A and B are shown apart, each in its own frame.
Chain A
Amino acid sequence: MSSENAVQRPAAENAVLSARHIVKTYGATRALKGVNFDVHAGTVTTLFGENGAGKSTLMKILAGVEQPTSGTILLDGEAVVFADTNDARAKGISIIHQELSLAPNLTVRDNLFMGRELRNALGAVDYREEERQSRAVLSELSNEIEPLMLVSDLRLGQQQLVEIARALLADSRILIMDEPTSALSATEVDVLFHVIDDLTSRGVSIVYISHHLEEALQITDYAVVLRDGTMTATALAKDIDLEWIVRHMVGDDFDLGSPPSGYDFGDVALSIVDVSVADPRDPNRLLVDHLSLDVREGEIVCLYGLMGAGRTELMEAVAGRIPLAGGEVKLKQHEVSKLTLRERLAEGLGLVPEDRQRDGLVQTMTVGQNLSLSSLSGFVRGLFISRSAERKHVNEAIQDVRVKTAGGAAMIGSLSGGNQQKVVIGKIVSTGPDVLLLDEPSRGIDVGAKAEVFRLIAGRARAGLAVIYSTSEVGECLSIAHRIVVLRRGRIAAEFPPTVRKEDIMASSGEAVAA
């Protein structure tokens, strides 16, 4: 623990890329509050931090995706401004996003030269030269990828290597990788780390973001920790350990509530028995692997796990959105595995999806129409929807989940993220379910709205609702959940009571090893 409070600043003179006093504001929110950040030639620098700490914002600024509100970026000691990503790439900085930006219908070669195709004397694309260069760069990374393979035929890890090859072809000296290992298998991670070693030995600098702390610590030379838009610590990796990172990452917590108490759980409301879900791209790979879990009436279970641990797949399979590869789902001892999502919802099993823009809301409709969408059949009088019955339902739901809105007739797009999320929850809750599954209910909403959402869920549980919610922020496990279930590679890695330490949760998820 040599570096207890030492914000060690490695010598700045050999930094290839430096960010000085970077501030980034979105409206009234300060995402970055004056961050200093250095990248040294031929090293790996890892940014640690929870969701919302500002890691991605900082990386976007360094890669030219966004402009800082104030502050300077120094490249080789000289101040630069990146107009856009192409400009940054031309100056030697490439970013590889979490979501890959390849065209799956094209070949590896065409992807590598996308947007800057080589021309021959006649002005046509010089495929032969492109192929030669592709082969040369690919041979350094992998001996499995051929220039003429279709990207859609490649595994995810291989696609990532293609992205890296594209950056190398552009002569990038600095490569930013945002969560590169989240979707990779263990062997693919090994390959990637090998490539990173190789790149750094050739003088390429890597900026790395990962939630797999342990894994990141293996390969990094420098560790930088961000919290709430401020750099809280920086150190040489050899001087620190995981506990140091976790301590600087987590900080003090906002109170997100405590498990509702003072009542006994009822009968088992939901029984997940030996459930498996196959990867649609590779039916032999199980995203959820023979998992069993019971939830009682009034109980709140938190599902924690890293990206790719199988949380979303488990919830969607239980709700009936994606098929089970095996096992069964019982609602109050009553088998529902054969029912459609609609039928399961009618039986009292509701799902609040993860991505509210894509899966939760109909943007062309009003707040009220969104809120009543799942319970419309209840207001039919004769042939038609009773407007007064619907209005009553909508107004009750708005009050019940405390949506801040001008009224049911307001367009859904006029609401803030937190209020939109409450609409999605209110829509399902107002069908009167016995079991509620919430996939990352706190994603993309601010801390005040998070607390409200959790309070809402806790109130429902007290009234007998069985709840499973998932989260990727460890602080949110230790809020209203009676039980914390940690998923890892599709299986339950551990179960904890609400008194558990964060470090233990992170350790069992594969994120970090408890000190």
Chain B
Amino acid sequence: MTDSTVRTRRRNPFAGLSFGAMLLEARAFLALIVIFAIFSLLAPTAFPTLSNIVVMCQQVSVYAILSIGMLVVILDGGIDLSVGSTLGLAGMVAGLCMQGIKFGSVVLYPSVWVVVIIAVATGALVGLVNGILVARLNVAPFVATLGMLYVVRGLAELSTNGLTVNNLDGKPELGNTGFDWLGFNSLLGIPIGVWVLLVVGIAASLLLNRTVYGRWLYASGGNMRAAELSGVPVRKVKVRAYVISGVCAAIAGVILTSELTSAGPTQGTSYELTAIAAVVIGGAALTGGRGTVRGTLLGAFVIGFLAAGLTIVGVSAYVQTVFTGAVIVLAVLLNGIQYRRRRSAAKSETPAPPPASSEPTGDMTARSAAEETVA
């Protein structure tokens, strides 16, 4: 047999990581800094003030929580188009619970934390249905969650025949006041919504990086077949990903409802697209297996700060839409460049064997070439 043991000098694996590559890696963070700098210059009195930053963060937190749920599903290689509707339904459930739950002649007024739990459970239920459709009944994620987008939105509208629930204050004698706390109060000068985002973000980060579930999720998204053969319960992982997404959407829905002091059935319409955009800008791959919470948060802040800045500068909403779209396309282009670079870097180390070939000639090359880089 031909033995190819030509070993040349070891190459430094980081030798190829130029300044350009570093810029590429940190692009979402850089974009955020650039956006902040530009609007600070354009509107020095309005944009970089503490109060404006607090307001912007509060606005972003709803999208960001939604995006984290979306990230989990995208990491698994799926997509969840129903989150905007789930947000709306969870808000309606919360609003209606504040009006009291009728059991025959008895009306129950649950306290606020019970209302929140019921709303979040609603989101989890929607996610569970999504998960079962996708993982057990093998419906394509796009189609399953598109269907659920309509079903859930319809349910939200049906719950009040399209009317908005306005009175969310509760009554002191019923012990259900305080719903507005989520949307209006602050802790240490930071709005509650941002605190919730912080908690959700840290929890998600720990989940993805430190738990078995997180590893299973990355493995399933990276190579479903290999994960399954390694003993990963890939279907269970998938179902849970959609449940997590539903829960995140419901949390976002509760916060938004509290901020708006009303629950409207059309709340959150098209928010799913913003969430996907945030995940993509954050560098995650729609094919699954790649992406981080940090990137997704940056993506959400890029979108949020861009929109707020453009509004402050006085750019029309139509132009804003164009800008947002351009940023998304740019992000996807950069993602493509990054993954191609990574792949070609891996390829220059290990040229893949011709897949159709049963003869290992290509692999032999791979070995000899790869040994250059390997200790």
Contact = CB atoms under 8 A, between A and B. Distances in A.
Given A28-B6, A341-B228, A342-B232, A362 B361 contact: no
Interface stretch (A123-131, A260-268, A271-279, A371-379): A371-379
Given A413-B350, A446-B3, A380 B212 contact: yes
A1 interface: no
A288 to B, nearest CB: 19
B367 A445 contact: yes
Contacts of B351: 26-27
A431 B230 CA distance: 10
A7 interface: no
B369 interface: yes
A444 B363 contact: yes
B227 interface: yes
Interface string A422-453: 00000110010000000000011111110000
A56 interface: yes
Interface in B329-361: 346, 349-361
Given A28-B368, A52-B359, A365-B218, A359 B13 contact: no
Interface in B215-237: 215-216, 218-219, 221-223, 225-233
B370 A414 contact: yes
Interface in B192-221: 206, 210-212, 215-216, 218-219, 221
A413 B371 contact: no
A445 to B, nearest CB: 6
A29 B229 contact: no
Given A369-B215, A384-B206, A416 B350 contact: yes
A29 B374 contact: no
A407 B13 CA distance: 12
Contacts of B2: 29-31, 228-229, 446
Contact of B366 (A373, A417, A428): A417
A449 B371 CA distance: 12
B43 interface: no
Contacts of A428: 230
Contacts of B3: 446-448
Contact of B223 (A341, A363, A445): A363
B326 to A, nearest CB: 28
Nearest to A365: B222
A449 B359 contact: no
Q: Which of A29, A345, A358, A404 has the most CB of B within 10 A?
A: A29
Contact of B367 (A229, A383, A384, A449): A449
A499 to B, nearest CB: 24
Given A364-B222, A415-B350, A321 B229 contact: yes
A31 B229 CA distance: 33
B212 A376 contact: yes
B223 A56 contact: no
Contact of A406 (B6, B227, B374): B374
Given A52-B359, A373-B227, A444-B353, A29 B365 contact: yes
A414 B1 contact: no
A55 B360 CA distance: 11
A172 to B, nearest CB: 19
A51 B364 contact: no
A97 interface: yes
A29 B368 contact: yes
Interface in A347-388: 351, 353, 357-365, 369, 372-374, 376-377, 380, 383-385
Contacts of B91: none
A363 B222 contact: yes
B4 interface: yes
A384 B210 contact: yes
* Size band of the interface chain B makes with A: 35 or more
Which of B210, B289, B360 has its CB near the most chain A CB atoms (within 10 A)?
A: B360
A413 B365 contact: no
A383 B211 contact: yes
Contacts of B353: 417, 444
A54 B359 contact: yes
A63 to B, nearest CB: 12
B223 A362 contact: yes
Contact of B219 (A28, A345, A362): A362
B210 A27 contact: no
A99 interface: yes
A406 B350 contact: no
B347 to A, nearest CB: 8
B356 A99 contact: yes
A446 B4 CA distance: 9
Given A362-B226, A373-B215, A385-B215, A27 B356 contact: no
Given A254-B1, A359-B229, A360-B229, A443 B212 contact: no
A340 to B, nearest CB: 8
B365 A28 contact: yes
A98 interface: yes
A431 B215 CA distance: 17
Interface in A43-62: 51-57, 60
A27 B354 CA distance: 14
A438 B230 CA distance: 13
Nearest to B290: A364
A72 interface: no
B178 interface: no
30 contacts: A26-B364, A27-B369, A29-B364, A29-B368, A56-B357, A56-B361, A57-B361, A60-B357, A254-B1, A358-B223, A360-B226, A362-B222, A362-B227, A365-B289, A369-B218, A373-B219, A373-B230, A374-B231, A383-B206, A413-B350, A414-B349, A414-B350, A416-B350, A416-B367, A416-B370, A417-B350, A419-B374, A444-B353, A446-B363, A447-B1
Interface of A: 26-31, 51-57, 60, 97-99, 179, 228-229, 254, 319, 321, 341-342, 345-346, 351, 353, 357-365, 369, 372-374, 376-377, 380, 383-385, 404-407, 410-411, 413-419, 427-428, 431, 443-449
Given A364-B222, A385-B215, 13 more contacts: A31-B361, A51-B360, A365-B218, A406-B13, A406-B373, A414-B349, A414-B350, A416-B363, A416-B374, A417-B353, A445-B367, A446-B1, A447-B3
The 8 nearest A-B residue pairs measured at CB? A26-B365, A413-B346, A364-B222, A416-B367, A416-B370, A27-B365, A364-B289, A417-B363
